[in-house]
Amino acid sequence: MLIASLNGDRGFHLRTQHYSYAIGLVDGRFVRHLYWGAPVEKIPDAVLGSVDAPPPAYLAAIPISEGRVSLDLLPQEYPAWGTGEHREGALGVILADGTSALRLEYRSHEILSDRLMPAGMAMLREDHALGDCETLRIELADPRGDLSVDLFYLVHDDAPALIRWTRITNRDESPIWLLDPASASVDLRPGRYDAVTLSGSWARERHVDRIPVAPGRREIGSRGGSSSHQSSPFVALCDTDTGEDHGRVYAMTLAYSGNFRATVDRDPFASCRCSIGIGRLRVELEPGESFDTAPALLVRSNRGFGGMSEAFHRILRDGIVASRWREKPRSVVINSWEAMYFDIDVEKIRTLARGGREIGAELLVLDDGWFSARRDDTTSLGDWWPNEELFPGGLRPVAEAVRAEGLDFGLWVEPEMVSPESELYRTHPEWALRIDRREPTRAREQLTLNLGIPAVQDFIVATISRIIEETDAVYLKWDMNRAMTEAGSTVLTRERQGETMHRYILGLYDVLRRITDAYPQVLIEGCAAGGGRMDFGLARYSPRFWTSDQTDAVERLPIQYGTSLLFPPEMMGAHVSAVPNHQVGRNTPARTRVLTALPFSFGFELDPARQSEDDRAIFREGSDRYQAIREWVMNGRFIRLRGALSRQNAAEGPTFHDGLGTDHAWMVLSEDARRAAVFFYKPLIAPEPGPDHLRLAGLPPGRWYRDTVGGTVYAAAWLMDRGLRVPRMVGDYQAFSWFLDAVDGDDHDGGSR
């Protein structure tokens, strides 16, 4: 039993081997948050209906059978603003009479033995490996009868995350409005917390921010219609001394690819409320109509950020990413974008494939520029037919040419977009997002199609299907290169315009579902000007993301570090590019570029013909090494050793630099702990740095490991307590790797450490 009703329905205990989560009912009316933490056997009866302290006289309080309750003090599961609660409410409303105050009280509940997901946002795959599931539904309602709220809690036997979402139903006889309804809200006990979030911009995605939670409210979110470069749908609260391998973390992510909103609210008594949900949303509900919020995943770790990431990686691998891609190792990719940009034709692509094969590539992605009149980024999106001059006879000959070189064929598309200079726009201007009498703002000279329109959805499915069938492509890089503006819909009423961006995302999911169902052999790489839409919603359809347009090895370190908080390495596309780097002009050694990309989904973003023979040999070695480790890496444990959240930097003296000079290190440990790949990156050299040892983590004590290159055999305890000696490096932008294999029995000599 995963969900237990306690003491005659006075509370609920959600329990797995990973966590316990407990809810109490105060006076049978108010649904209070009781506990979220390590699994416990039993929730004491005495706390179930309790109010922690009687409210002081000056606070608004409601009489209950055993005294009074102040909503402003009560930890709640889904707080409503305006009737005694002054902190952040979980949803905004405009009721039929124009007022916004809401009271939500317990009405009923049921415990179901199946899995209920929000409409149109399935997130979990059908054949997930998260074990049995039970769903708790708690119905709340406003005593005035305006609306009801169903809280859904999905507990999986073997999932280290609780899934929460909410259904809101209009119970009135007139329409009402919802504003930004949260999927989940949690009230943490009073204490000192830090908030960890991920922020950035184009080419600088998901840098880690860690700041103390101060009194008041902080909000992060996205508003341009995607989960965004600027901020990720993720927030974690942790104890102030939490590190990578110790301390408590309470984390949430929203499995949704559009606007989100997350808040952290610390009240005068130092308790912290944290919520996450769809943002910038205004929904009209007709009488009887319901709205479902997106699924939120709640992860609690007692083992710091490392434990948190392990849980998120696990959910993605075992619950979200399609099984086919869970099992299939990712190919070494060579992409034409940074290799030749728009300067492509069938011969150049053939040559790129040949050069790619020599450095170990297994799949070529023909990027932007293959269609219609597109010779730069100003035209032709929407006109998805091959440019006959560049690709005589269409795409099949170029796809065949690539295959003849021994590589699989993949193609770039940006199907959600339209260029004003295109036949599609001339025929269907009403398909773009637009607002009457407003000039649509262009970004990268393009407009956004409205995926909330069924005809647009059908157009995209038909176009992509035709392209796949014409080329036998096994890979699509699915790009989306601008934020939404003037997000109005030509097919929605005035009352429904506030749903435009949400309906777009539901439309997108449906399009992707139809395509991936029809062509399961095609891997869809999620891209949005790099990593601008990398989230657990899209992960259902996209087992690999283009992590960032930033391909400089040094700039990639904090991006990959931050991204790994949520995503396992095999989902993070990482390509070796040419120097000087195209984004920042930096010259990094070939080996550093290879080692920065190696533990992730490895590939190239360069023209091999223009690289030196020495560098090509290093690239080839990189591909060989990647192919040797990728199968166990995709089931292994990714452990961050140095970077923004780690203590090893500061503790280890003068080698530490702040900012982009920060040393980074991570390792991947195979599931059976018999193999480890360890990577160390030193962006800036320091004078007289003194000895530096990189301490590993996660190795079973008592084991021995051989450094397969240097030959030394180490005890696991040595590696974790003393660490690997970092070789002395000369020059900036250095990197080093170790590949360790477990040594059986007594097969280690006295000279070992």
Shortest distance (Å) from residue 223 CB to ligand GLA: 20
Minimum distance from residue 429 beta carbon to ligand GLA (Å): 23
- Residue 205 as a binder of ligand GLA (CB under 6 A): the answer is no
Here the tokens at position 560 are 């990959």
Q: Which of these segments, 4-12, 113-121, 161-169, 527-535, binds ligand GLA (CB under 6 A)?
A: 527-535
Amino acid present at 453: I
The CB-nearest residue to ligand GLA is 368
Reply yes or no on whether 746 is catalytic: no
The whole-angstrom separation of Cα 569 and Cα 558 is 14
d(CA 709, CA 598): 17
692 binds ligand GLA (CB under 6 A): no
Distance (Å, whole) CA 80 – CA 23? 17
| Min CB(412)–ligand GLA separation in Å | 5
Q: What is the DSSP string of 31-83?
A: EEEEEEES--S---HHHHT--SSPPPTTS--EEETTEEE-TTTS-BSS-BSSS
Q: Which stretch binds ligand GLA (CB under 6 A): 233-241, 268-276, 524-532, 587-595?
A: 524-532
Q: Which amino acid is at 421?
A: E
What are the backbone angles phi and psi of residue 107, rounded to the nearest 5°? -120, -50
Q: What are the distances in angstroms from CA 330 to CA 404, 537, 599, 615, 626? A: 20, 21, 12, 23, 10
Minimum CB separation from ligand GLA for residue 488, in Å? Answer: 26
For ligand GLA, give the closer residue by CB, 150 or 549: 549
Q: Which of 318, 367, 549, 663 is catalytic?
A: 549
Count the helices and strands in the chain (H runs, E runs): 14, 41
What φ, ψ does residue 325 adopt, rounded to 5°? Answer: -85, -15
Q: Please pick, among 150, 180, 187, 479, the residue that the annotation labels catalytic.
A: 479
Looking at 164-172, 307-315, 421-429, 523-531, which segment touches ligand GLA (CB under 6 A)? 523-531
Q: How far is the CB of 257 from ligand GLA (least distance, A)?
A: 16
Choose, by CB under 6 A, the member of 415, 530, 537, 698 that binds ligand GLA: 530
Q: Which stretch binds ligand GLA (CB under 6 A): 181-189, 508-516, 525-533, 553-561?
A: 525-533
- Read off the amino acid at residue 45: D
d(CA 581, CA 587): 6
Interface with ligand GLA includes 563 (CB under 6 A)?
Answer: no
Q: Which of 142, 146, 244, 368 binds ligand GLA (CB under 6 A)?
A: 368
Residue 682's identity, in one-letter code, is: K
Query: Whole-angstrom Cα distance, residue 480 to residue 258?
Result: 12
What is the closest distance, in whole angstroms, from the C-beta atom of residue 395 to ligand GLA in the complex?
A: 17
Residue 173: burial class (beta carbons within 10 Å; 0-12, 13-18, 19+): exposed
Whichever of 530 and 599 has its CB closer to ligand GLA, that residue is 530
Q: Which of residues 315-354 bind ligand GLA (CB under 6 A)?
A: 337
Phi first, then psi, for residue 301 (nearest 5°) are -125, 140
Within residues 580-599, the interface with ligand GLA by CB under 6 A covers none
CB of residue 377 to ligand GLA, shortest distance in Å:
6
Question: Rounded to an integer, what distance in angstroms lies between the CA atom of residue 291 and that of residue 285?
Answer: 8
Distance CA 263, CA 25 (A): 25
Q: Which of 590, 581, 453, 554 is nearest to 510 (CA)?
A: 453
Give yes or no for residue 367 binding ligand GLA (CB under 6 A): yes
Which lies closer to ligand GLA via its Cβ, residue 132 or residue 377? 377
Here's the x/- map for ligand GLA, 16-35, by CB under 6 A: it reads as --------------------
Query: Do 722 and 684 meet the contact criterion of CB atoms below 8 Å apart?
Result: no
Q: Shortest gap between Cβ of 167 and ligand GLA (angstroms)?
A: 36
Query: Closest Cα to residue 261, out of 289, 282, 280?
Result: 280
Q: Please give the C-alpha separations between residue 387 and each of 277, 411, 461, in angstroms, as whole numbers.
A: 43, 14, 21
Closer to ligand GLA by CB, 529 or 578: give it.
529
For the segment 465-484, give every residue that binds ligand GLA (CB under 6 A). 479, 481
Q: Among 548, 544, 543, 550, which Cα is nearest to 532's?
A: 548
Q: Distances from the Cα of 602 to the Cαs of 53, 477, 506, 626, in angstroms? A: 56, 15, 31, 7
Which residues does residue 36 pair with via DSSP β-bridges, in sequence order? 21
Contacting residue, 529, 554, 633, 639, with ligand GLA by CB under 6 A = 529
Q: How far is the CB of 338 from ligand GLA (least distance, A)?
A: 8
Q: Which is nearer to ligand GLA, 250 or 370 (CB)?
A: 370
How many binding residues for ligand GLA (CB under 6 A)?
12
Which is nearer to ligand GLA, 533 or 664 (by Cβ)?
A: 533
| Positions in 371-390 near ligand GLA (CB under 6 A) | 377
Q: Decide whether 76 or 548 has the Cβ nearer to ligand GLA.
A: 548
Q: Which residue, among 90, 97, 56, 94, has the nearest Cα to 75 in the 3D structure?
A: 90
Q: Applying CB under 6 A, does 527 fall inside the site for ligand GLA?
A: yes
Site for ligand GLA (CB under 6 A): which residue of 78, 81, 412, 475? 412
Nearer to ligand GLA (CB atom), residue 480 or residue 645: 480
How do 363-366 and 408-413 pair as beta strands?
A: parallel
Query: In the complex with ligand GLA, which residue's Cβ is closer, 412 or 679?
Result: 412
Check binding of 134 to ligand GLA (CB under 6 A). no
Q: Are 418 and 382 in contact (CB under 8 A)?
A: yes
Shortest approach of ligand GLA to residue 479 CB, angstroms? 5
Is 479 among the residues known to form the active site? yes
Q: Which is nearer to ligand GLA, 532 or 569 (CB)?
A: 532
Residues with Cβ < 8 Å from 531, sequence gap 6 or more?
Answer: 205, 206, 229, 545, 546, 547, 548, 559, 563
Assigned token pair, 27: 């006076």
What is the closest distance, in whole angstroms, from the C-beta atom of residue 335 to ligand GLA in the complex? 7
Closer residue to ligand GLA, CB minimum distance, 352 or 677: 352
Q: Does 549 bind ligand GLA (CB under 6 A)?
A: yes
Per DSSP, what are the bridge partners of residue 63? 68
Q: Give me the residues that bind ligand GLA (CB under 6 A), please.
A: 337, 367-368, 377, 412, 479, 481, 527, 529-530, 546, 549
Q: What residues are annotated to the active site?
A: 479, 549
